[in-house]
Amino acid sequence: MYRCALPIVILVLTGCSTVTSKGYWGAGFGWPDGQRLRDSAVTAVRSPHVWAPLAGALVLGVSDLDEEISDWAVKKTPLFGDNASQVSDRLRDFTTYAYFATALLAPSDSLANKAKGLGVGIATMAIEQGIVPVLKSATNRERPNGADDFSMPSGHASRSSTNATMAAANLDYMDMPGWARWTMQVGLYGTAAGTGWARVEAEKHYPSDVLVGYAIGQFLARFMYEAFMNSSQEDTAAAPALNYTPLAGGGLITLTVPLR
């Protein structure tokens, strides 16, 4: 029984779908240098999923709309009703399951590369869970329901955004119709957005708290994947190289070492 199950487990861990132009999941892993870290941060910030929520939070923060929308959502609970708090937990957890499911199903050419990819994902989750409490203490904003002073940013929104963004990126490694991939990615981002809105209806956060949390998750996931998972050909070419050139009566050995 166990001998029959082992090949199935290996098949799941190494991926069972056709490889796309992204290559094997985890095969692009690499330790970034300073320049790549900076470039990855700039790429992440330029995403509308990052700057647009931050801009929206700024607009809400300098006006009365933040509290007005919060009061309206708590009174009307138009989407999730009285179960908004429980729904936010379930939606957040769903994005976690979605990440691990897509990570296991994305095709990898070895268990080592699968482990590298999972390492990046788990590290991203750990960073998010370490940063958000610090920001909550620094902002010291009271929740709409007055329970405590840890309203900004929303941890539910940041976590679901982080996991949904990584899961959506994992789908790019799976061979499937474009419309199917797009639909699932929209669904993942929608789940993250729904998690945040449920927190507003549950009177746990103001809309600006949710928008900032969503942007944090988006930035972290995009930055980590760009920096560690998308090793470019330029990075590969920048590795030390030893070359031999035949010459009359002998040869020339050259060692090329990148300076950056």
Please determine, for residue 76, whether its predicted confidence score (pLDDT) is greater than 60: yes
Q: What is the pLDDT of residues 87-108, one digit of tens each?
A: 999 999 999 999 999 999 999 9
Say if CB 20 and CB 178 are below 8 A apart.
Answer: no
pTM for the full model?
0.84
Please determine, for residue 72, whether its predicted confidence score (pLDDT) is greater than 80: yes
Residue 90's CATH number? 1.20.144
**What does the alpha-carbon distance between residue 82 and residue 202 come to, in Å, rounded to a whole number?**
8
Element (H, E) at 247: strand 241-247
**What does the alpha-carbon distance between residue 91 and residue 87 come to, in Å, rounded to a whole number?**
6
pLDDT in the model for residue 172: 96
pLDDT in the model for residue 253: 59
The three-class DSSP label of residue 124 is helix
Please report which confidence band the pLDDT of residue 5 belongs to, taking 50, 70 and 90 as the band edges. Answer: very low
Please determine, for residue 71, whether its predicted confidence score (pLDDT) is greater than 90: yes
Average pLDDT over residues 171-195: 96
Q: How many domains does the chain have?
A: 1
> Cα–chain-centroid distance for residue 171?
12
The three-class DSSP label of residue 140 is coil
Say if CB 181 and CB 174 are below 8 A apart.
Answer: yes
- Range of 228's domain? 2-256
pLDDT in the model for residue 234: 46
Average pLDDT over residues 44-61: 97
Token couple for 18: 């056709």
pLDDT in the model for residue 25: 96
Please determine, for residue 83, whether its predicted confidence score (pLDDT) is greater than 90: yes
Q: How much of the chain, in percent, has pLDDT values that exceed 70?
A: 82
**What does the alpha-carbon distance between residue 164 and residue 51 come to, in Å, rounded to a whole number?**
17
pLDDT in the model for residue 16: 52
Average pLDDT over residues 167-171: 98
